Amino acid sequence: MAGKTLFEKIWDKHVISNIDQGPSVLYIDRHLIHEVTSPQAFGGLKERGIKVRRPDKTVATPDHNIPTMDQHLPIHDELSRFQVNKLKENCNKHNIEMYGLTHPYNGIVHVIGPELGITQPGMTMVCGDSHTSTHGAFGSIAFGIGTSEVEMVLATQCLMQSKPKTMRINIEGELKKGVSSKDIILYIISQISTGGATGYFVEFAGSAIRALSMEARMTICNMSIEMGARGGMIAPDETTFEYVKGREFAPKNEEWEKALEEWKKLPSDSDAQFDKELTYKAEEIEPMITYGTNPGMGIGISNSIPKTEEIEKTSQKSFKKSLDYMGFNPGDPILGKNVDYVFVGSCTNGRIEDLRAFTQFVKGKKKADNITAWIVPGSKQVEKQAIEEGIKDTLEAAGFELRQPGCSACLAMNDDKIPEGNYAVSTTNRNFEGRQGPGARTMLASPLTAAAAAITGKISDPRDFL
Amino acid sequence: MPIEKFVTLESSCVPLPIENIDTDQIIPARFLKATTREGFGDNLFCDWRYDKKGKPRKDFVLNDPTYSGKILVAGENFGSGSSREHAAWALTGYGFKVIVSSFFADIFKSNALNNGLLPVQVTPGFLEELFNAIKDDSAIKVKVDLKNQIISVPSLSISEKFDINNYKKTCLLNGYDDIDYLLNMKEKIIAWEEKA
Ligand code: SF4
């Protein structure tokens, strides 16, 4: 019998039963909830007259809809305030732990799970948010669900799921200077397209992945959804254990030793079979940036936007629509394009390492006059650390300001919206039309590339400054 | 919530031949502040449907009286992006019962099925035939037969079989919901937890 993949080991351990020609009933170890996708699920419980089955396995944080300034004041937007209060009300009613605004553990749901040690190898985790895939960086099965499924997990701690196919993507070799994990994932998506991994759960492997920090691994798994994957994951190793150890909810003492022993058995067996396998060379990746309105429309920063004839015939109409929205012409070089906004933050690149990378770059330089920059930490803890490390001061000296944590301009549900027609270099994960505000033009990139744009006021190659 | 039963539907179609329609287009994030499932249909495709002043854009298909019906026919890779079930609520709220495309994003597909909205995945060739048929005759009827898993254009005698998970099919045909199924398994779940 062939060996098992990381995915199969965790999946098999969590299946309670299999429905004939149907999905499996999967047990869920941790359920994260936030204010936007949970109210209708709680409403459903109320209609059925049932309670949350395992509040002890559920954690809540408001993040999507909150302001990133003056968080100690009541939220001025009435609907947002109502939604955040609703979460609090529901959590109180059902005894669910919630880290509300100004709580030292508040933050973006996918940032706080790992930093609190809630996320651990070998777990099944879900959240009513597609970027739950982030947690897969720890070697867990983590994926986003819809609100009916949130209700399902609240009611039963289980989920009906069809088993996805498995894919392994290997990145071999060493990354070049100025190239980060954000560039790896943007590169992969540009190669296989936004639907390229639909139906699959993806394991990222190879020497370049092994060499990455946990933060960098999270950035990659975070965006696996942007190639259509159900989720992404990376086998746990010493880097993982080192990160988890000692965190608030991580196992302690004897429990830790026991857990460690189990976690070490998780990596895919050497003879495990994947339904699909792809390999790329790390050396071939350069700083990436997107020019269009889906995350697959990315190019190396020294390249030009494709010409129409290079695009498949059936996609040419969508390509044109996309470039019209962006105000770009086919064949244009991307370097030197004007930029109005720089946004650093989100569950993709709002962790301390991302803030460090950005800050190191801008240290001793000045923000370009034409740039409005929003630097938003992913959590209260990231914010605190940024202040302690002097990041906030360095940023301020260079003309930037550090805001308070939240999803912010990543999806523009709060006041942080990029104005219509303006160009934003953003460290987030989606460049869809209107994602960062109606008419906003988003270009996805790494914190370094964002820093280069913030200093020069236009799209610039960060390698020129290193 | 118990879903409406789905057996067979025959309807004219609304064509939207754009690829990679993501959930931010189906329902922009700024409309996600509601705490109930109702009312999202009014904002379906909001930024394509209305201009900045809130006036209907004449060139968008939902504002074109030539086309109407309960079936939306869309380009490849429909529903990518966010997990927001609000996208499914917006489509059903507007009155759609079936979405036809040559490819669907995963989470969207399960969200749709959980709301009695049937995603019908057809081959790229059949999709093109459909778009052409609708272009030639905006009132042309398309028939979706869930029991036999067949989508057809009776007046043109073209049809194609489509896939659906057997369990989900039973749920839709009978109007069952997953949560009822799982709630009935409570003992088994508890036994599993004790063993784990
Ligand atoms: S930061 Fe953006 S992608 Fe991440 S959870 Fe918030 S809205 Fe979603």
Report how far residue A60's alpha carbon sits from residue A129's, in angstroms, rounded to the nearest whole number.
13
Q: What ipTM, to 2 d.p.?
A: 0.92
Ligand 1 atom closest to Cα of residue A429:
3
Interchain proximity A25–B182, CB inside 8 Å: yes
pLDDT computed for residue B92 by the predictor: 96
Report the DSSP beta bridge partners of residue B50: B56
User: Mean pLDDT over all residues of chain A?
Assistant: 97
Ligand 1 atom closest to Cα of residue A430:
3
> Which of A88, A91, A149, A290 is the best residue to mutate to test the B interface, defined by the most B CB atoms within 10 Å of its own CB?
A149
Residues with Cβ within 8 Å of A332's Cβ and at least 6 positions away in sequence, in order, are A304, A305
A135 touches ligand 1 (CB under 6 Å): no
Report how far residue A74's alpha carbon sits from residue A82's, in angstroms, rounded to the nearest whole number.
11
**Which residue do the tokens 């989606």 mark?**
A430
Report how far residue B33's alpha carbon sits from residue A78's, in angstroms, rounded to the nearest whole number.
10
Please state the rounded mean pLDDT for residues B150-179: 94
Contact A375, A395 (CB under 8 A): yes
Torsional sign, CA A340, A346, A348, A350: positive
- For residue B27, is pLDDT > 60? yes
Does residue A283 sit in helix, strand or coil?
helix
Report how far residue A72's alpha carbon sits from residue A404's, in angstroms, rounded to the nearest whole number.
10
Q: In b/e form, how buried is each residue of B6-31, taking b as 16+ CB within 10 angstroms? A: beebebbbbbbbbbbbbbbbbbbbbb
- For residue B88, is pLDDT > 90? yes
- Report chain A residues whose CB lies below 8 A from the CB of B80: 194-195, 228, 294
Nearest CA among A169, A186, A233, A178 for reference residue A427: A186
Nearest CA among A444, A358, A465 for reference residue A182: A444
Ligand 1 atom closest to Cα of residue A345:
1
Residue B149 is inside which H or E element, if any? none
Interchain CB contact of A421 with B (< 8 Å): no
Each residue of A279-321: pLDDT tens digit?
999 999 999 999 999 999 999 999 999 999 999 988 898 999 9
Report how far residue B173's alpha carbon sits from residue B180's, in angstroms, rounded to the nearest whole number.
15
Interchain proximity B165–A148, CB inside 8 Å: no
pLDDT computed for residue B1 by the predictor: 55
Residues with Cβ within 8 Å of A257's Cβ and at least 6 positions away in sequence, in order, are none
Residues with Cβ within 8 Å of A305's Cβ and at least 6 positions away in sequence, in order, are A291, A299, A323, A328, A329, A330, A331, A332, A333, A334
Contact A287, A178 (CB under 8 A): yes
Interchain proximity B29–A413, CB inside 8 Å: yes
Please state the rounded mean pLDDT for residues B66-84: 95
pLDDT computed for residue B192 by the predictor: 96
Each residue of A106-144: pLDDT tens digit?
999 999 999 999 999 999 999 999 999 999 999 999 999
Quote the Cα angle for A133-A135-A137, to 5°. Answer: 95
Does residue A385 sit in helix, strand or coil?
helix
Interchain CB contact of A317 with B (< 8 Å): yes
pLDDT computed for residue A21 by the predictor: 84
Report how far residue B35's alpha carbon sits from residue A89's, in angstroms, rounded to the nearest whole number.
12
User: How does DSSP assign A86-100, residue by residue?
Assistant: HHHHHHHHHT-EE--
Please state the rounded mean pLDDT for residues A398-411: 96
Please state the rounded mean pLDDT for residues A240-262: 98
Q: To the nearest 10°, report the CA torsion of A78, A98, A229, A298.
A: 50
Q: To the nearest 10°, report the CA torsion of A238, A243, A247, A249.
A: -70
Please state the rounded mean pLDDT for residues A380-406: 98
Nearest CA among A164, A212, A165, A166 for reference residue A185: A212
Enumerate domains of chain A plus CATH numbers: 6-161 (3.30.499.10), 165-284 (3.40.1060.10), 288-464 (3.30.499.10)
Q: What are phi and psi of A276, to 5 degrees?
A: -150, 145
Closest residue by Cα to atom 4, ligand 1, is: A347
- CA A362 to chain B, closest CA, distance in angstroms equals 32
> Which of B24, B50, B184 is the best residue to mutate to test the A interface, defined by the most A CB atoms within 10 Å of its own CB?
B24
Report the DSSP beta bridge partners of residue A126: A31, A143
Chain A, window 151-170: residues with a beta carbon less than 8 angstroms from a chain B beta carbon: 151-152, 155-158, 160, 162, 164
pLDDT computed for residue B2 by the predictor: 65
Q: Token pair of A84, please?
A: 């955040």
Q: To the nearest 10°, report the CA torsion of A327, A410, A74, A352.
A: -130
Residues with Cβ within 8 Å of A435's Cβ and at least 6 positions away in sequence, in order, are A410, A411, A412, A428, A442, B24, B29
Residue of A64, A427, A432 best suited for mutating to test ligand 1, as the one with most atoms within 8 Å of CB? A64
pLDDT computed for residue A2 by the predictor: 84
Residues with Cβ within 8 Å of A342's Cβ and at least 6 positions away in sequence, in order, are A371, A372, A373, A374, A424, A425, A426, A450, A451, A453, A454
A410 touches ligand 1 (CB under 6 Å): yes
Report the residue from A22, A64, A145 with minimal CB separation from B165: A22
Please state the rounded mean pLDDT for residues A314-332: 95
pLDDT computed for residue A20 by the predictor: 86
- Report chain A residues whose CB lies below 8 A from the CB of B17: 317
pTM score: 0.95
A82: burial class by Cβ within 10 Å (0-12, 13-18, 19+)?
Answer: middle
A217 touches ligand 1 (CB under 6 Å): no
pLDDT computed for residue A402 by the predictor: 97
Distances (CA, A) of B189 to A9, A14, A45, A155, A161: 20, 11, 18, 12, 15
pLDDT computed for residue A111 by the predictor: 98
Nearest CA among A107, A114, A129, A136 for reference residue A378: A107
Please state the rounded mean pLDDT for residues A73-96: 96
Report how far residue B137's alpha carbon sits from residue B140's, in angstroms, rounded to the nearest whole number.
5
- For residue A1, is pLDDT > 90? no
Chain A, window 426-455: residues with a beta carbon less than 8 angstroms from a chain B beta carbon: 430, 432-435, 438
